[in-house]
Amino acid sequence: MMRLLATLLIGLMVLGQMAQAQNGPLRIEITDGVIEPLPYAVPDFVAETSGAAELASNLARVVAEDLNGTGLFREIPAKAHISQITNFASPVQFADWKAINAQALVSGAVSVSGNDLEVKFRVYDVFAGQELGNGLRFKGTTEGWRRMGHKVADAVYSRITGEGGYFDSRVVFVSESGPKNDRRKRLAIMDYDGANLQYLTDSSAIVLAPRFSPTGDKVLYTSYETGFPRVFVLDVGSVERRVLQDQAGTMSFAPRFSPDGKSVLMSITQNGNTDIHTMPVNGRQTKRLTSSPSIDTAPSISPDGQQIVFESDRSGNQQLYVMPAGGGEPKRISFGQGRYGTPVWSPRGDLIAFTKQNKGRFHIGVMRTDGSEERLLTASFLDEGPSWAPNGRVIMFTRETQGSDGTAALYSVDVSGRNLKKVKVQGGASDPAWSPLQ
């Protein structure tokens, strides 16, 4: 895994001086309401070395799956293409792409030398007849080929939507198997699209609710390994783990890193009372941030590190509160019908995602950080535990079906409420946490 990361410490090299049309007419504005997906074409990339043909085709497929999966793009299939792109450097026959109404065109080229892989790509605004942004080149290894595809797709998405990308990211989650009353749980990590699944723990102890460090190299989670729920930190590369909080007579859970990665927020329960504490990731001393007889849990820090949103039942039932990061008087921000839990601050800082329970149904929703403009994005028997994509536009969460055969699965939904879909994972899956962009 570290090797993959290392191989992607690569230069982003501008191919030419053809940068133009940064604010050209080709643009998807991601707003609420229904939009018409943008028609585009991504023909197989050009294989520039012998033996690169399969990767050249597969890379174009990864780009297409990423873009199609957003619901914002509609691919025009290869069989409708009039032109082929057989030479990356040759001028594009814009008329042929206009004729099939492809508004955007992605071309790419691949060369392989031993384990080294080089991918180049260009994005065209077909109707303007010009390139959208600069061509770019990525270098990596053949094993990391999917990541190179995600990087191309991120660049295309970014140029056309004006938003940051999120395809070159991973998800840590809890893989589930076995019957409902004896569920086996283990930590797993995968690419955001379900590829490259790896297990990080075995299933000998219950594990819950992992969270990435800001750099994505460590994971906090709760494990029953000691017989009691305790917060652990795990190194993703070496899979080495250690318990963070193990004071006798307590239990700890709901851990999250601070934005600088140096401290950890968590809930600690003592004598039946649950409060939010903070501790240095490399220290022992915990500091209590809340001190009410209520259940105070599920903390999440704002990206600027200044505030903490959390849930508390101090009013009588679960509601959301915001307090200063160092502790202090919390201010309630949720006032709608029902109960609110698991608040998560958006990486953009603008919204808070949450789980809402109302009239026997569960919802994933978002609100502004002052609690205004609440919008519910989903509804089902049991939806919970939202996690933000690194660009703050998409939310992944757990959906569990009801009854004795009920199982958990990961779903994602746009912050607009569009494009609800199941994430491809084999077996049961819960508690997703999205990594930062890699």
Partner 1 sequence: MSSFSKVALLLAGLALGACSNSGIFDPDDASGSGTSGANYEAGSVDDPTSVAYFQQNVGDRVLFQVDQSVLTEEAKLVLLSQANWLLENSAYSAVIEGHADEQGTREYNLALGARRASAAKEFLVSRGIADNRLRTVSYGKERPLEVCSAEACYTKNRRAVTILQADLTG
Binding of partner 1 at residue 206 (CB under 8 A)? yes
b/e code 399-409 from CB counts within 10 Å (16+ = b): bbeeeeeebbb
| Alpha-carbon span 104 to 271, nearest angstrom | 61
Q: Which is nearer to partner 1, 114 or 227 (CB)?
A: 227
Contact between residue 334 and residue 319 where contact means Cβ atoms under 8 Å apart: yes
Binding of partner 1 at residue 359 (CB under 8 A)? no
| Alpha-carbon span 250 to 230, nearest angstrom | 9
Cα angle 11-13-19, degrees, rounded to a multiple of 5:
150
Binding of partner 1 at residue 337 (CB under 8 A)? no
Binding of partner 1 at residue 314 (CB under 8 A)? no
Q: Which is nearer to partner 1, 33 or 403 (CB)?
A: 403
Residue owning tokens 């509601």: 319
* Long-range contacts, 226-232 (Cβ 8 Å, 24+): 229/253, 231/255, 231/264, 231/266
Scan residues 415-434 and list those touching partner 1 (CB under 8 A): 431
Binding of partner 1 at residue 191 (CB under 8 A)? no
Binding of partner 1 at residue 77 (CB under 8 A)? no
Q: How many helices (H) and strands (E) does the chain have?
A: 4, 32
| Dihedral class, residue 261 (left if φ above 0, else alpha if ψ from -120 to 50, else beta) | left
Stretch that binds partner 1, among 83-91, 151-159, 330-338, 398-406 (CB under 8 A): 398-406
Binding of partner 1 at residue 409 (CB under 8 A)? no
Binding of partner 1 at residue 135 (CB under 8 A)? no
Q: Which is nearer to partner 1, 320 or 413 (CB)?
A: 320
Stretch that binds partner 1, among 76-84, 107-115, 130-138, 313-321 (CB under 8 A): 313-321
CB atoms within 10 A of CB 206: 15
Q: DSSP character for 77?
A: P
Count the site residues for partner 1 by CB under 8 A: 49
Minimum Å gap between C-beta 284 and partner 1 is: 21
Answer for which of 130, 269, 369, 380 binds partner 1 (CB under 8 A) is 269
| Alpha-carbon span 358 to 391, nearest angstrom | 29
Answer for which of 66, 75, 154, 311 binds partner 1 (CB under 8 A) is 311
Instruction: Write out the residues near partner 1 by the rule CB under 8 A.
Output: 179-183, 185, 205-206, 208-209, 222, 224-229, 249, 251, 253-254, 267, 269, 271-274, 295, 297-298, 311, 313, 317-318, 341-342, 355, 357, 360, 381-382, 384-385, 400, 402-404, 406, 431
